[in-house]
Amino acid sequence: MTTETRENLLAFLRRHPPYKDMGAFALDALVAALKPVTVPDGGYILTPSDMPPDLYIIESGQVQVRQVGDVTLTDPPLYDLEAGQSFPLAATAARRPAINVYSAVGEVRCWRLASADFASLLLSSCEFNRYVLDHVAGLLHEARRQIEIQFGQRNADQQTMNAQLTAFVRPNVVRIAPTAPIAEAMATMVKAKVGSVIVADSDGMPLGIFTQSDALRRVVIPKHDPAAPIAEVMTAPPATISSHATAYDAMLAMAMHRIRHLVIVDAEQKVAGVVSERDLFAMQRIGLRNVRKVIEGAANIDELARAAGDVRRLCLNMLAQGVNAEKLTQFISGLNDSLTRRVIELVQGTHDLSGLDWAWLAFGSEGRDEQTFSTDQDNGIIFSCPADTDAGALRGRFLAFAKEVNEGLARCGFPLCKGNIMASNPSWCLSQEEWRQCFAKWIRSPEPEALLNATIFFDFRGLYGNEALARDLRQWLLAQTAGATLFLRFMAENAVKAPPPLGMIRDFVFDNNAEFPHTLDLKAFGARPFVDAARIFALGHGIIQSSTTERLRAAAAHNLLGNDDINAAIEGFFFIQQLRLRNQRAGTAPGGENRVDPDKLNELDRQVLKEAFKQAKRLQSRLQLEYRL
């Protein structure tokens, strides 16, 4: 390259980002590595077959970008590139094939930077590195947008589940004072043709709600005095939800708390409206009301098994409508909870558990409210054992009951746990004191089996019965683990043994799974690093929450990680969860429901997945730093 050519090239680069912002040393190195390329009209500059893809900087002319595949010259191009622009940044950075064809419109003069020199420039120039990262970040945003479109609404007239509840706020909310007679409240409901009235004080603060169901159960059947104040028969306090919440949030709250109405409140917590299950049902047409009514009214396990199929279809429909992974896994868990509770209620009627103080425990993904479409059983029982009572004798009263519940759940589509972590196993049907002894042993002796148990049993919550037993056990457990430095260190050491499958040279690293070669395990090496890190943060810092995202957000509140880091980690976690749900929805063969071949993902999804794995790696690095691994 002559001195004149070099000076002209430098002048050209200094007019265009990111080169104009680069330091002199990095810019000189770039100029030394660039090679001139001239392409005639219609000629290909770069195609997906060019590997590894080099970077091209357009000096003059126009480059047309077209989609690869069954397209013709009459199909419009995706877009055009002008002088000063570079391509293909993301593919060159990832050392993956370009996803489009780049051709010349008229004669095009370019400067080509070899892939190896591109990698060196990333290391030597902060400005160039930042520019590439910003470009890839833009692609990630576009990927998320395309996912929303891909799994968006199928019918133009169907409203989105992400619509805010402001859509239900009407200017004339039907509300009455707490001193109003019951007869007046009922007459108001009839006149306004509504199924509920809100009871509020003079400042508009909600005190209660009175519905048609309340009128029947609390007034008509017991023959309550209709002249009595409505405050005597209203439901108080009423369940409320912010007007900025979404229709999905309302649907989830109703399903989890088994209610049919929510009072909508504004920023000042004053009454803004009311939303009913009927509103949501009419809005979505997805059968939530029918599914829940079938679950609650099921007279036997066979009816519940049919309802379980409805739950799966409902959740698949929600995935198709674009509900994000966080909300969908919560919703799946919520409806599965309802199924489990109804199975327990049906079975309990045939067993004598009178006088016993107990609770059904959910472990693992169910304990974290993170169930996907493919989930087996992980459960147990905790019971109170008076000082003068034999725990073994009480346990005997539970085991036959628990076995029937486990079998009923299996008929509803929740396979029996291969590791026998079920309430029907005497090892996991324990008194309060026995559970404490069990956890204490694992904490004192963090052997491999204890660490494995910790990943399952330490994520628990009460699902049915006296849930205070579970809450008390959680408080006791956190008091024990807060100072158990050796145990936490071993847990952290065990957690980082499952690194995300990122390669130093290649994009991804594959395990040696013979049945599903060239695939990534999105559960064991994708979701697990997030779950493990969040659990260790919780156990080490007294975080009472059991779900992964709640634990991560609480970790930010404890200043363990910055808010930006936590938000990025949560986005990465739920992108992986979204891929798992999509994979399971596609009906992948058993054993492969949590596996994905990255070559079958589009380039944008691949980039998002790489970034998600990087977030998992950052969490593991935080564990290594905190526990000096």
Question: Which tens digits make up the pLDDT trace of 226-251?
Answer: 999 999 999 989 999 988 787 777 87
266/23 Cα distance (integer angstroms): 53
Strand-pairing partners, residue 46, are 102
Q: How confident is the model at residue 159, as a pLDDT?
A: 40
| Rounded distance between C-alpha atoms, residue 461 and residue 456, angstroms | 12
Going by pLDDT thresholds of 50, 70 and 90, the confidence category of residue 52 is confident
Q: Lowest-confidence range among 198-207, 305-314, 377-386, 422-431?
A: 305-314
Q: What is the pLDDT of residue 160?
A: 47
Q: Has residue 148 got a pLDDT over 50?
A: no
Distance CA 489, CA 629 (A): 8
Q: Tell me what pLDDT residue 322 has.
A: 64
Domains of the chain: 3-148 (2.60.120.10), 165-285 (3.10.580.10)
What backbone torsions phi and psi does residue 66 show, to the nearest 5 degrees? -125, 150
**The total number of residues written for the chain in this structure:** 629
Q: Which two tokens stand for residue 386?
A: 């008076």
Q: Which two tokens stand for residue 508?
A: 């991804």
Distance CA 444, CA 622 (A): 24
**pLDDT one-digit tens code per residue, 571-587:** 899 999 988 888 887 76
Q: b/e map of 501-516 (b: 16 or more CB within 10 Å)?
A: bbeeeebbebeeeeeb
Q: Can you tell me the mean pLDDT for 516-544?
A: 93
- Report the alpha-carbon distance of residue 85 to residue 575 in Å, rounded: 31
CA distance 448 to 539: 18
* Separation of alpha carbons 454 and 375, rounded Å: 19
Chain CA centroid to CA 68, Å: 33
pTM here is: 0.58
Q: What is the pLDDT of residues 255-307, one digit of tens each?
A: 767 788 889 988 788 888 888 877 776 555 445 556 667 788 888 998 888 88
Instruction: Give the whole-angstrom CA distance, residue 195 versus residue 193.
Output: 7
CA distance 340 to 465: 12
Is residue 137 predicted with pLDDT exceeding 80?
no
Q: Which residue's structure tokens are 């770039």?
A: 30
- pLDDT number for residue 607: 85
d(CA 324, CA 319): 7
Q: What is the pLDDT of residue 403?
A: 97
| 3-class DSSP state of 55 | strand
> Is the distance from CB of 222 to CB of 141 less than 8 angstroms?
no
Q: What is the pLDDT of residues 388-410, one digit of tens each?
A: 889 999 999 999 999 999 999 99
Whether the predicted pLDDT of 168 surpasses 80 = no
What would the pLDDT profile of 535-571 be if each residue is shown by its tens digit? 999 999 999 988 999 999 999 888 887 777 888 899 8
Query: What's the maximum distance between 2 C-alpha atoms anywhere in the chain?
Result: 102
Residue 136 has a pLDDT of 61
Paired sense of beta strands 196-200 and 175-176, if any = parallel
Secondary structure of the chain: what % helix, strand, coil (to 5)?
A: 50, 15, 35
Q: What percent of the chain lies above the pLDDT cut of 90?
A: 44
Q: How far apart are CA 532 and CA 454, in angstroms?
A: 10
**204 Cβ neighbours under 8 A, 6+ residues apart:** 270, 271
Across the range 496-525, mean pLDDT stands at 87
Q: Is the pLDDT of residue 147 over 50?
A: no
Mean pLDDT value across residues 73-86: 73
Q: Taking Cα atoms as reference points, which of 287, 375, 273 lies closest to residue 329? A: 375
Give me the residue label for tokens 């009839």: 190
CA neighbours closer than 13 Å in the CB half-sphere of residue 560: 28
Quick one: 483 exposed, middle or buried, by C-beta within 10 A (0-12, 13-18, 19+)?
exposed
CA distances from 625 to 14, 496, 559, 611 (A): 41, 12, 15, 21
- List strands edge to edge, sheet with 175-176: 175-176, 196-200, 206-211
Express as a percent the part of the chain with pLDDT over 70.
88
Mean pLDDT of 503-523: 85
Which are the contacts of 171, defined by CB distance < 8 A and separation ≥ 6? Answer: none
Q: Tens digits of per-residue pLDDT, 428-478?
A: 999 999 999 999 999 998 888 888 888 899 999 999 999 999 999 999 999
